[in-house]
Chain A
Amino acid sequence: NAGVTQTPKFRVLKTGQSMTLLCAQDMNHEYMYWYRQDPGMGLRLIHYSVGEGTTAKGEVPDGYNVSRLKKQNFLLGLESAAPSQTSVYFCASSLLTRAGVINEQFFGPGTRLTVL
């Protein structure tokens, strides 16, 4: 199993450009998440999904959109990139057990995005 993979690993954008980050997991997990990590701020949840075709806003959703058309993929889009979106982006997934317990989240290796 590859676990959680993210594409691309690095990207440099100019202000106003758009891009899509791809997250894929091969563990058949129901839940998927997008975080951003900034120095001194830990991980902040951008958007998440509790299943195919569903998405929900997290703590810092502004400027981002997401889609979960297939269970194994979760896409994060930036329609018009801004320098404030320079960050490291992590995708994660987790499994919902039959008892309703949310297990730990499994993380991808991250995408380092710079917006000039």
Chain B
Amino acid sequence: AQSVTQPDIHITVSEGASLELRCNYSYGATPYLFWYVQSPGQGLQLLLKYFSGDTLVQGIKGFEAEFKRSQSSFNLRKPSVHWSDAAEYFCAVGPFGNEKLTFGTGTRLTIIP
């Protein structure tokens, strides 16, 4: 069975600093990987996804993520965070041909001035 681990429950970053959120997955074959963002009181919005091809994927709002098969990781990065990036971030994994996704427990991002 697939699983996702987001080891950081809460991260605090200064505005303008770089950001990396960690995501590790467990799955036997090449997975489909997603990062979602949830602003307070809102639903989840897709930031980016990886299905195949280039292992560095670009998403919305200046985010990117890199798929590393050898490390079973799909970490999310942003070079310079903005106060509006404060939210909860979820990593999700799904195998090819399977309609179900497995979500991590989320990382809450706080931005300080």
Contacts and interface: CB of A to CB of B under 8 A. Distances in A.
Interface of A: 4, 31, 35, 40-45, 48, 50, 58, 90, 92, 94, 96, 100-102, 104-110
A17 B33 CA distance: 39
Given A40-B9, A102-B32, A104-B49, A109 B43 contact: yes
User: Which of A40, A96, A104 has the most chain B CB within a 10 Å cutoff?
Assistant: A104
Contact of B99 (A4, A50, A106): A50
Contacts of B94: 102
Which secondary structure characterizes the binding site on chain B? loop
Contacts, number: 53
Which secondary structure characterizes the binding site on chain A? strand
How many B residues are at the interface, by size bracket? 20 to 34
Interface string B97-113: 11111011110000000
Nearest to B52: A101
Given A48-B99, A100-B97, A101-B96, 14 more contacts: A35-B103, A40-B9, A40-B105, A42-B105, A45-B100, A45-B101, A58-B100, A92-B44, A94-B99, A102-B32, A107-B36, A107-B44, A109-B42, A110-B42
Contacts of A104: 34, 46, 49
